[in-house]
Amino acid sequence: MSDPAAFTDLAQARQGLAPSLLGIDPLLAEPGDTDSSLDPRGWNVERASRCVRHIAQLRKDQAVECGAYEAEIERIAAMEQRAIQRYEGAIARATQLLRAWFEANRPESKRSWDLPAGRIGVRAQPLRAEVVELARALEWARSYLPDAVVVPAGKVDVRKLTEHLRRTGEQPAGCRVVGGDESFYVDTEVE
């Protein structure tokens, strides 16, 4: 990045410029320049070389400044991740305490509890099939549930395997059964 004193130098450099040149980068213009002297057709080798050095300096300044922004973005992203972890940890601990309280005080027929600040409760998680070994699941589906085979892709339709599991209770080969238990929830946006 340019030296902070350069800003003073730039302000001083602008003082000798014609009013129409004030929008031109002061490092390209010189005191006494006119609109016609900035026309590249009138430049000599020294003036063109000065322009090249100016571009090189701008690129260096850009790299330094953008590098500083990238470092700041990384620092802020790390701060964000630490904050997320801190808040998620606190939410998880509070949720565990609420779940223990709910389980200890839950009447048998109640699935939720309305509190002044929100609702807590449990939801039943439906049974579903999850493919863990595609080759075995495909082989099983070809033999016992051909509708579940997705022909061009060589995959199985997990929805059809899940429907079969729920309808018959049979676990397709190459799949595992997930769900069937209760999950605890905290709803803080109850109106």
Residue 47: predicted pLDDT: 78
169 three-state secondary structure: coil
Which sequence spans correspond to the domains of the chain? 112-187
pLDDT band of 13, cuts 50, 70, 90: very low
Question: What proportion of the chain, given as a percentage, has pLDDT over 90?
Answer: 24
Per-residue pLDDT of 38-84, as tens digits, reads 667 777 888 788 888 888 888 888 888 888 899 999 999 999 999 99
Confidence (pTM): 0.50
Q: 11-15, 108-112, 116-120 — which one is most confidently predicted on average?
A: 116-120
**Distance from C-alpha of 97 to C-alpha of 90, rounded to nearest angstrom:** 11
Beta carbons within 8 Å of 57's beta carbon, 6+ residues apart = 2, 27
Question: Is residue 161 over pLDDT 70?
Answer: yes
Q: Extract the tokens encoding 156.
A: 């199985």
Beta carbons within 8 Å of 107's beta carbon, 6+ residues apart = none
